[in-house]
Structure 1
C-alpha cells in the first residue's frame, strides 16, 4: 500500500476515533440537557436511521461519480458536524447533529471499504480489508475510554471539541493529498469483471443478487455482536460480580485484540476458502456466546472474550474480503453502500430485540438470542452464497473461482 493511501487511511482513522469519542458521551450529555428516554433513543438511533435510507443510493452514486469524490465530500462534512455538536445546547440541535453525522458516516465508512477494495491487489483482499478493520476496531476500543478521561478531567463538551480537532486534522490531510494529485484510486493488480455493470446496477438487481444477500446476512450478524458487546455487556457483568472497571477492560479486550487480529486473519483468509471460513467462524461465535451466562470466574471470562475476539476477527475479515471480490462485478460503491445499509438494519434490529429480550427474559437471554441470530444468519449466508442463479455470481466464478473461495 502506497504512502498516500496510508495517509488517507490515517485521516479516516482519526474520524472514526472522533466518532467513538462523541458516541460514548452522547447519552450522559443528553441527560444533562434534560433529555427524556424517547429523546435519548432518537439521538442514539438517528445515525443508523439516516444510514439505513441513504447507504445504498450513496453507494450507487459513487460508482457513477467516483468513490474518492464521495469520500472526500464526507470528510469535508465532518468538521461541520463536529461544530454542530459543540454548539448543541438543546435537544433538537443535538438530534440534528446526529442526523448530520449519520449522513457523513454513510458517505465515509462504506466508501472507505469501497476504496480499499478498489486498490486491493488480486488475492490480497483479506489483508487489505484487515487494515481497515484493524483501524475501526482499535478506534472503537480506545475511543470510549478517551471520552471518559476527557469528561472526567475537563467536561463532557470537551469530547466534542477533541472530535472537532481530529476532523480538522483529517480534512487538512485530505487537502494536502488533493493538492499533491498523487492519490491513487485504482491498483494495477485489481480487477473489474464487468466494467459496464458499475453504473447500471438497479436497486432491484441489488436485492436479487444472491451473494450480496449472503453478505448482508453476515453484516446483520456482525451488528448483533457489536451491539451485544458494546451496549449490553455492561448490564450483564454486575450479576457476575465484575466491577465497572473490569467490564471496560473486557470490552476493550474484544475491540483491541479483535482489531490487531484482523490483519493476520485477513492474510489467513487470503490463503484458504473464504466461504468456509465465514461459515465455520460464524458457528463457533454462536457457540461461544452461549457460554457467557455459565462463566462466573473473571479469568475464564477474559479467556472467553479473547477467544471470541479472535474468532470474530476471522468472521469479519473473510466476509470483508468476499465483499471486495463481489464488488468487482456489482460495483464497489454499490456493494459497500448496500452492505452498509444492511449493517444499519442489523444495528436497529439488535437494539430493539435485545432491549425487549432483556426486559422479558433477563440478561442471560441476550446471549442466547444473539447466538441464535448469528447462527441463522451464518446458515443463510451459506445458502445464498452457494446459489448460482444470479448473473454476477456466474461472472465472478468464471473469472476467479479459486480466489473467491
Structure 2
C-alpha cells in the first residue's frame, strides 16, 4: 500500500491580492492534492480577503494561522512548529518567507524532507554592504542551508549569493519565478482605467509596480522622471503598490513637491487589475536596488510593454540590455532618465523590445514551476533517509 504523504507549505506571510506568487502556491497545492497528498498551508494571519484562501480549503487543504518568527531564532516559533510537524506527521516541509525557526522545528521533529525557497536577495546585497563581526558567519542562512535537503533559488544571482556567503552549492537548484502569463498576455485594454486616473490618451504613461519601500527604488524613479518631463512634457508616472513604509512614502511625497510633479505622478495604491493597468501603459520601469527575479517585470513583458530595469540581482537574467529591454546601473538617475527618453522618442526601438521580450517567456509559466517543484518533492522522497 502506497504511503500517505503529508506536506506543509510554510508561507510565513499573508496574501493581499491574488498575485502570480499566490496562484502558483495554489496550483502547487492542487498538484499535491491530485496525487492524494494531504496539504497544510501556514499563513501569518487571516487575509482581509477570505476569497484568497477559499480555493485552498475547497481542495481539502487545511489553512493554519500562526505568527511569523520573531527574529531568526525564535524559541516560541520552534516550539509551535515542532508541535505542528508532529501533529501533521509531516513528510515534507516547504518554507518560503520564514525559514530558520521552522526548519529547526522540522529537524527536531525528524521531518524527512525539508525544502527552502530563496525568493529574494539578502538585505546585505540590497544595501550594498558586507556583514561585519559575527554576522560574517551568516548564522541564520548557514543553519537554514544546513538543515534544508534542497534549496530552490529564484535566480542564478540568488544561488551565487548563497554560495558566496555560506557554500552549499550541491543543494541549490534554480527554479524560475512563476508568472500567470496568460492573464497578462490575454488581458484586454480598458480605456476607462486611464480616465479614472485623469490620464489623457495622448499622455506617455510610465508605470512602476511594487510598494513604498526603499529597496524598490521609487526615490530613484522620481528624480529621473523629473528629467524626462523636461523633454517629454506629456509624460505621467503611475506608482502601483501599498504604502509599506510611512517614512519612505513621505520621502517620495517630498521629492514630488520639490520637483513640482504633483500633477504628473499618480499613486494607485494596491490594485487587483494590474494586467489591465499594464495594458494601457506605454512603458514599465523597475528601479529596484535588489530583486531575486521580479515577477512584476515578467508580467510587464508578457503584457507587451517595453521595460527598463536595474542591472542588479536576477534582473539581467530576464533582460538582455538593448535586445529585449534596457538595463541601467543601480542608483544612476541620469541613465534611467536617458533610457526612458530613448524609448519614448523611438517607436522603432519600442517595437523591437516588445517583440523580443515575448520570446522565451514560457520558462516563467506557473505550470513549469509547479511540475519542477513537484519533481523535486518526489526525488527527495525517493532518497529520504
Per the TM superposition, whether the score is higher than 0.5 is no
User: Quick check: which one's helix share is greater?
Assistant: 1
Task: Mark the structure with the bigger radius of gyration.
Answer: 2
TM-score by length of 1: 0.25
Structure in which a larger fraction of residues adopt strand: 2
Greater RCO between the two (CA within 8 Å, min separation 6)?
1
Q: TM-score normalised to the size of structure 2?
A: 0.26
